[in-house]
């Protein structure tokens, strides 16, 4: 009996230690109870102008991931530089669960008047906290619901993928391009389609091969996927997974070219094979949010920027991109911004030969982002 | 430009199989000593993390490998304390330690996510690596891939040709008899866990220092569990583990190579392949290999009664 008790104790201690560690790994802000200062008991932020602001930001991963989270973090840094009287509290590795609510509450206690829950899965937790704190403003990325004090923002990079396709098609020698994606969801399929359409616009014989990883984060599998694509003759790869780092590094090892996504910073890992990429650049938008909140002029809205808005930026070109290609990309970019070029101009067939956009019609990108369940002609890969 | 399909799969099998083989060899030693360590996944994760951290700090991937091996060995001592000393349930302890390692490595590795390190060097063996078909598959790799066969041989030698191996297997078959014969079963089990943990740590380090070249939380993604299943497939024989690791590594590589060559098979079905293979192995070999299983393993629930 005594023995049994001791065993259970040993197990229980391990279990508790494990839970504690997991929890710490989760929310890495330290909950300092002294921080509940008078700042939180101030006036309603939506009306009175303030000259100081505390911004609370929560990230789903590490801010040094060379990907999505790092792009968000760099935007916060830029906001701090633009507005010296703004203070930022950040928390990393916060699970998309009730834990997120606890972290947000904690930040509000420390006096945060603008909360940026920076991952898709934080939407419902943020709406819950927003309902309890009408004097605190929230801005959520890619959200599809708003509240009087919760606005949403995103950057639609679809037409930029068209330009990436041009860069890839102009640089490939084998006429085979490759994509590695976490999951085949509509907005990613739309990106791949735009990419292939861009590629075909300069070289109709270029094909794109898609590999589905079934994981947002599995670097070993991402590496093997690059190897498999390189083995099959692909010489330009791009991706939408959490961090582009492994894909661009493995491509470099295999001596093939790569196009980045999420963070401009990944270019450092890419070596000579780097063509270009798309990076989120939210710095000016975050600065505007902070200014509006301080001035009391903030309004709840769904703020989706397209190519001309600057919420996302085309990364600097690598040495393999010729000046002609750069000029062509600039011209096409100008056409898209001016409304002269629609990426999804019919007739467009899917890769089964079915017409998905009729001749003379154009696809509406916001609709496509939510509904696309096909790959266009020229893209191979099963998605179901 | 393009590589033949079979060559791509073979090279991929070796790349993916390396980490699995080291993990499986570690588990062979541990199971031969009469324990089932489901915490192998955690042990590999600890190796991946500490190996990466040490490499980032020292700038030398070989120091990273040593750190990974030591970290794996020390981590397994926790399992030893729970299971050998405290006689806790083996399965529960292993799983608990796996979760423990998820949290531990998340904290330790936090500042190293996104760091770029100089990983293990890739060696191209002169002349041999240019042989058509075979060269690129067999004679290009890093220290750990070239070490696969020698390491399996070394484990085989240690288990079957040394006095320590004989004692270890005796303990695995029957602790009481081993004790009566004057051996110290607990000490031998701790030793087995340390050596097995070192190998598991090396397996994890191959992921972070060579294969993927990054550290990310939870990056072993179930490869440790595949390695545990592999031990049954290999019927607790280190040399057969080589074939098993190549088979499972091959399954991972095969499905990605198939996707890269435009098949009409769903990627979701293909992604099940390594796990279907695991199930198949358990179904086909699980039962009729029981006689080859170390007898001590039939008492995995020792301590719960």
| pLDDT beyond 90 at B47 | yes
User: pLDDT value at position A28?
Assistant: 42
Strands A274-280 and A312-314: antiparallel
Contact B214 A21 (CB under 8 A): no
SS3 label, residue A211: strand
Report pLDDT digits (tens) over B110-145: 889 988 899 999 888 888 878 877 878 888 889 999
Q: Which of the four pLDDT bands, split at 50, 70 and 90, describes residue A71? A: very high
Q: Could you tell me which chain A residue has the CA closest to the CA of B272?
A: A214
**What is chain A's mean pLDDT, rounded?**
88
Average pLDDT over residues B49-65: 97
Task: Determine, for residues B8 and A383 on separate chains, whether the beta-carbon distance falls below 8 Å.
Answer: no
Residue B283 banded pLDDT, cuts 50, 70, 90: confident
According to the model, what pLDDT value does residue B262 have?
77
Instruction: Tell if the CB–CB gap between B2 and A233 is shorter than 8 Å.
Output: yes
Q: Over 90: is that where the pLDDT of B209 sits? A: yes
CB-based contact B260 A246, cutoff 8 Å: no
Q: Residues B34, B172: contact at Cβ < 8 Å? A: yes
CB-CB contact of A242 with A67 (8 Å): yes
Across A182-208, average pLDDT: 95
Q: Where are the alpha helices (DSSP H) in chain A?
A: 2-26, 68-82, 98-109, 123-132, 158-171, 186-202, 219-231, 245-254, 267-270, 283-295, 323-338, 365-371
Give the best residue of B81, B204, B252, B259 to mutate against chain A (max A CB count within 10 A): B259
Cα gap A20→A12, rounded to integer Å: 12
Interior CA angle at B41 toward B233 and A229, to 5°? 80
Residue A10 CB partners (closer than 8 Å, separation 6+): B82, B86, B88
pLDDT at residue A2, rounded to an integer = 46
The H or E element that residue B65 is part of is helix B61-80
Distance CA A307, CA A334 (A): 10
Cα-trace Rg, chain B: 19
Query: Mean pLDDT throughout B191-206?
Result: 98
Residue of chain A whose alpha carbon sits nearest to that of B254: A228
Cis? peptide before A10, omega within 30° of 0: no
- Look at A315-324, B40-49, B263-272 and tell me which has the smallest mean pLDDT: B263-272
Question: Is A70 within 8 Å of A263 (Cβ atoms)?
Answer: yes
* Cβ contact, residue pair B256, A228, below 8 Å: yes
- For residue B212, give how far its alpha carbon lies from the nearest alpha carbon of chain A (Å): 5
Q: What's the mean per-residue pLDDT of chain B? A: 90
Under a CB-based contact definition with an 8 Å cutoff, are residues B129 and B11 in contact?
no
Residue A210 binned pLDDT confidence (cut-offs 50, 70, 90): very high
Using the beta-carbon criterion (under 8 Å), do B214 and A245 form an inter-chain contact?
yes
pLDDT tens-digit series, residues A127-163: 999 999 999 999 999 888 999 999 999 999 999 999 9
pLDDT at B282: 76
CB A368 within 8 A of CB A344: yes
pLDDT at A201: 96
Q: From the centroid of its chain, how far is CA A300?
A: 21
Q: Which strand ranges, in their side-by-side order, compose the sheet holding A137-141?
A: A86-91, A53-58, A114-117, A137-141, A150-155, A302-305
What's the rounded Cα separation, in Å, for the pair A235 and B270? 24
Residues of chain B found within 8 Å of residue A212, distances taken between Cβ atoms: 259, 267-268, 271
pLDDT at residue B95 above 80? Answer: yes
Among chain A residues, the shortest Cα distance to B3 is held by A231
Query: Which B residues, 248 through 267, put their C-beta within 8 Å of a C-beta on chain A?
Result: 252-253, 256-257, 259-267
Q: What is the pLDDT of residue B26?
A: 98
List of chain B residues whose C-beta atoms are within 8 Å of the C-beta of residue A209: 259-262
Q: Are the C-beta atoms of B94 and B41 separated by less than 8 Å?
A: no
Q: Which two tokens stand for residue A273?
A: 């094979």
CB pairs under 8 A between A and B: 194
* Residue owning tokens 């080589």: B242
pLDDT band at B4 (very low <50, low <70, confident <90, very high): confident
A228 vs chain B: nearest CA distance in angstroms?
5
Neighbours of A23 (CB within 10 A): 12
Collect all residues with Cβ–Cβ distance below 8 Å to A237 and sequence separation of at least 6: A177, A178, A179, A180, A226, A229, A230, A247, A251, A256, A257, A258, A259
Q: Is the pLDDT of residue B299 over 70?
A: no
Does the beta-carbon distance from B218 to A217 stay under 8 Å? Answer: yes
pLDDT beyond 50 at B303: no
State whether residue B95 sits within 8 Å of chain A by CB. no
> Which has more confidence, A2 or A257?
A257
Q: Rounded to whole angstroms, how far apart are CA atoms B158 and B29?
A: 9
Record: contact A10-B256, CB cut-off 8 A: no
In chain B, which among 103-162 make CB contacts under 8 A with chain A?
103-104, 106-107, 110-111, 113-116, 122
pLDDT surpasses 70 at A306: yes
Q: Which residue of A22, A61, A215 is in closest CB contact with B102?
A: A22
Q: Is the pLDDT of residue B34 over 80?
A: yes
Q: Give the model's pLDDT for residue A189.
A: 95
pLDDT class for A179, splitting at 50, 70, 90?
Answer: very high
Lowest mean pLDDT: which of A325-334, A336-345, B180-189, B261-270? B261-270
CB A222 within 8 A of CB A213: yes
Chain A residue with minimal CA distance to B101?
A: A18
Among B139, B24, B122, B35, smallest CA distance to B82 is for B35
Question: A380 in helix, strand or coil?
Answer: strand
Pick from B110, B217, B265: CB nearest A382:
B265
Residue A211 with chain B: CB contacts under 8 Å: 256, 259-260, 267
In angstroms, the CA B119 to CA B113 distance is 15
Q: What pLDDT is stored for residue B267 in this prediction?
A: 87
- Nearest-CA distance from A383 to chain B in Å? 7
CA distance B232 to chain A (A): 24
Task: Give dist(CA A24, CA A46) in Å, integer.
Answer: 34
pTM: 0.85
- Give the list of residues 6+ apart from residue A139 with CB closer than 8 angstroms, or none: A114, A115, A116, A150, A151, A152, A153, A289
Q: Measured between CA atoms, how close is A284 to chain B, in angstroms?
A: 25
Would you call B267 and A382 a contact, using CB atoms and an 8 Å cutoff?
yes
Chain B partners within 8 Å of A237 (Cβ): none
- Does B222 touch chain A if contact means CB atoms closer than 8 Å? no
Mean of pLDDT values over A258-285: 93
Q: Say whether B262 and A381 touch across the interface (CB within 8 A).
A: yes
pLDDT at position B291: 64
State the Cα torsion B220-B222-B223-B225 to the nearest 10°: 130
Q: Are strands B123-124 and B140-141 parallel, antiparallel or unpaired?
A: antiparallel
pLDDT confidence bin for A31, thresholds 50/70/90: very low
In this structure, of A201-215, A243-257, B217-231, B288-302, the range with the lowest mean pLDDT score is B288-302
CB nearest to B259's CB, from A228, A230, A268? A228
pLDDT at A33: 38
CA neighbor of B25 nearest in space, from B10, B37, B15, B13: B37
DSSP-derived secondary structure letter, A276: E
d(CA B90, CA A232): 45
Residues 6+ apart with CB under 8 A from A228: A211, B8, B12, B253, B256, B257, B259, B260
Q: How confident is the model at residue A11 (pLDDT cuts 50, 70, 90)?
A: low
The pLDDT-based confidence of A51 (bands split at 50, 70, 90) is confident
**Confidence grade of residue A314 (pLDDT, cut at 50, 70, 90):** very high
User: Could A7 and B86 be called an inter-chain contact, meaning their C-beta atoms sit closer than 8 Å?
Assistant: yes
The torsion region of residue A219 among left (phi > 0), alpha (psi -120 to 50) and beta comes to alpha
**Residue among B111, B211, B264 whose CB faces A223 most closely:** B211
CA distance readout (Å), B80 to B74, B90, B302: 10, 10, 14
Q: Do residue A25 and residue B213 have CB atoms under 8 angstroms apart? A: no
> Could you count the other beta carbons within 10 Å of the beta carbon of residue B116?
13
Average pLDDT on B71-77 reads 98
């Amino acid at each position: 009996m005594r023995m049994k008790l001791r065993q259970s104790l040993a197990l229980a201690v391990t279990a508790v230690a494990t839970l504690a560690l997991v929890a710490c790994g989760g929310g890495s802000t330290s909950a300092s109870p002294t921080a509940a200062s008078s700042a939180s008991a101030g006036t309603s932020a939506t009306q009175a102008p303030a000259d100081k602001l505390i911004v609370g930001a929560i990230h789903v991963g590490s801010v040094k991931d060379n990907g999505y989270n790092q792009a968000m973090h760099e935007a916060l840094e830029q906001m701090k530089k633009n507005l010296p009287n703004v203070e930022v509290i950040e928390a990393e590795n916060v699970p998309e669960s009730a834990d997120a609510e606890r972290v947000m509450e904690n930040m509000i206690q420390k006096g945060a008047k603008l909360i940026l829950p920076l991952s898709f899965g934080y939407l419902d937790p943020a709406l819950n906290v927003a309902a309890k704190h009408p004097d605190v403003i929230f801005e959520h990325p890619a959200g599809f619901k708003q509240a009087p004090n919760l606005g949403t923002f995103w950057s639609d990079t679809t037409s930029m993928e068209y330009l990436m396709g041009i860069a890839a098609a102009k640089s490939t020698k084998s006429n085979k391009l490759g994509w590695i994606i976490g999951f085949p969801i509509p907005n990613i399929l739309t990106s791949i389609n735009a990419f292939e359409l861009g590629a075909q616009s300069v070289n109709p014989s270029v094909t794109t091969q898609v590999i589905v990883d079934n994981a947002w984060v599995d670097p070993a599998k991402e590496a093997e996927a690059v190897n498999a694509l390189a083995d099959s003759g692909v010489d330009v790869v791009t991706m939408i997974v959490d961090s582009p780092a492994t894909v661009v590094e493995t491509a470099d090892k295999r001596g093939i070219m790569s196009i980045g996504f999420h963070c401009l910073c990944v270019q450092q890992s890419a070596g000579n094979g780097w063509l270009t990429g798309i990076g989120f650049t939210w710095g000016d938008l975050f600065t505007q949010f902070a200014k509006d909140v301080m001035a009391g002029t903030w309004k709840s809205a769904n703020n989706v920027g397209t190519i001309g808005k600057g919420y996302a930026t085309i990364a600097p070109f690598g040495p393999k991109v010729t000046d002609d290609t750069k000029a062509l990309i600039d011209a096409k970019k100008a056409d898209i911004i001016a409304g002269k070029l629609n990426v999804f101009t019919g007739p467009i067939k899917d890769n089964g030969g079915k017409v998905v956009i009729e001749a003379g019609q154009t696809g509406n990108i916001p609709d496509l982002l939510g509904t696309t369940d096909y790959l266009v002609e020229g893209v191979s890969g099963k998605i179901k | 430009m393009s590589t033949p399909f079979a060559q791509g799969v073979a090279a991929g099998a070796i790349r993916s199989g390396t980490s699995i083989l080291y993990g499986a060899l570690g588990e062979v030693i541990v199971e031969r000593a009469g324990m089932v360590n489901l915490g192998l996944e955690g042990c590999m994760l600890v190796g991946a993390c500490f190996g990466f951290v040490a490499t980032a700090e020292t700038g030398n991937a070989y120091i990273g490998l040593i750190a990974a091996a030591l970290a794996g060995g020390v981590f397994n001592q926790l399992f030893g304390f729970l299971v050998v000393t405290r006689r806790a349930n083996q399965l529960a302890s292993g799983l608990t330690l796996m979760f423990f390692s998820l949290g531990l490595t998340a904290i330790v590795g936090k500042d190293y996510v996104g760091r770029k390190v100089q990983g293990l060097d890739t060696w191209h063996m002169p002349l041999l690596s240019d042989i058509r078909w075979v060269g690129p598959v067999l004679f290009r790799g890093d220290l750990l891939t070239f070490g696969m066969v020698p390491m399996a041989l070394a484990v085989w030698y240690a288990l079957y040709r040394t006095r320590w191996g004989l004692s270890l297997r005796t303990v695995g078959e029957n602790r009481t008899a081993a004790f009566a014969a004057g051996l110290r079963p607990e000490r031998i089990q701790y030793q087995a866990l340390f050596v097995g943990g070192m190998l598991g740590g090396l397996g994890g380090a191959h992921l972070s220092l060579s294969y993927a070249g990054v550290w990310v939380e939870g990056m072993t993604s179930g490869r440790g569990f595949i390695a545990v299943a592999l031990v049954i497939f290999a019927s607790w024989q280190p040399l057969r583990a080589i074939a098993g690791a190549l088979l499972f590594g091959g399954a991972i590589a095969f499905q990605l190579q198939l996707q890269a060559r435009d098949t009409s098979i769903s990627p979701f079905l293909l992604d099940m392949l390594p796990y279907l293979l695991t199930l198949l192995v358990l179904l086909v070999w699980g039962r009729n290999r029981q006689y080859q299983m170390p007898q001590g393993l039939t008492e995995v629930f020792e301590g719960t009664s």
